[in-house]
Amino acid sequence: MIRYCLIFSYRGNEFYGYQIQKKERTVQEEMEKVLSKIFNEKMKISSSGRTDRGVHALGQVATFDASKEMDNEKLRFALNSLLPKDIHIESVRKCDATFHARFSAKAKTYVYIIKKGEENPFLTSYVFFLHKELNLDKIKEGSTLFLGEHDFRNFCTNKEEQSYMETLYEIRIHQKGDYYFFVLTGTGFKRYMVRMLIGTLLAYERDEISLDYIREKLKKKEKDPTCFKVPAEGLYLKEVYYEGEMEK
């Protein structure tokens, strides 16, 4: 068997998330359908992790095993010809059979984009619109509390997890014209975690909560997740980092 590794982007708004479901359109299903057609056998792919409904990806990573060897660039071309227009394969390579898109991942970067001003019908799936100026200094101040290793159980949904520990390496926040970019890099992000972290920072920015609210939520061992969450539209999985062969 040959293990192939794909890096791909998708526009999330017409998918019910990445992971396959019985009835709804998903990224995984579209990809497995096309791979099965190309390789003429039933194919399964394994990604770095799911993304939720409406969330976009610029550099999602997934692997699959096939018995047939195909030229990387030819396979990429075939995939892009057959896939729907809201998925695009950026690169195809072969990788070691020990490489696992999810378990080998060392870190991930997500980007969240907020646009100041009125809604624009051409950007409505791509950014979160806010009608006011943001105090970035205040947001940056709040964001430092999240850096480092924490139990993020109160900044994700209720689903039972073995561990809620993650390390946030960096939260970079900057403005370009009317756009605010939040760039978060960490070992991993639980469900809704990026959206809840940013939602909490925005609540702090508008004085709805204090820094102590964040400190307590991070300390608390009982499940009591924050109610703040920004919408999915502005969220992009930007990059997944690996060591060794897949290192960038």
Catalytic residues: 52
Of residues 91 and 210, the one with the C-beta less far from a copy of itself: 91
Minimum distance of a copy of itself from residue 8's CB (angstroms): 9
Of residues 66 and 183, the one with the C-beta less far from a copy of itself: 183
Tokens 């057609």 locate to 37
Q: Contact 53/16 with Cβ under 8 angstroms?
A: yes
Q: Contact 15/96 with Cβ under 8 angstroms?
A: no
Amino acid at 3: R
Minimum distance of a copy of itself from residue 97's CB (angstroms): 30
Site residues for a copy of itself per CB under 8 A: 9-11, 56, 80, 85-88, 118-122, 124, 126
Minimum distance of a copy of itself from residue 194's CB (angstroms): 19
**What's the burial of 57, exposed, middle or buried (CB within 10 Å: 0-12/13-18/19+)?**
buried
Minimum distance of a copy of itself from residue 143's CB (angstroms): 26
Residues 135 and 118: their CA atoms lie apart, in Å, by 18
Side-chain half-sphere CA neighbours of 224 within 13 A: 9
Of residues 91 and 175, the one with the C-beta less far from a copy of itself: 91
Closest CA to 244 of 110, 108, 95: 95
**What's the burial of 67, exposed, middle or buried (CB within 10 Å: 0-12/13-18/19+)?**
exposed
Minimum distance of a copy of itself from residue 140's CB (angstroms): 28
Instruction: Determine what percent of the chain falls in helix, strand and coil, rounding each to the nearest 5.
Output: 30, 30, 40
Provide the b/e sequence for 109-131 (b: ≥16 CB within 10 Å): bbbbbbbbeeeeeebeebbbbbe
Of residues 45 and 218, the one with the C-beta less far from a copy of itself: 45
Of residues 119 and 224, the one with the C-beta less far from a copy of itself: 119
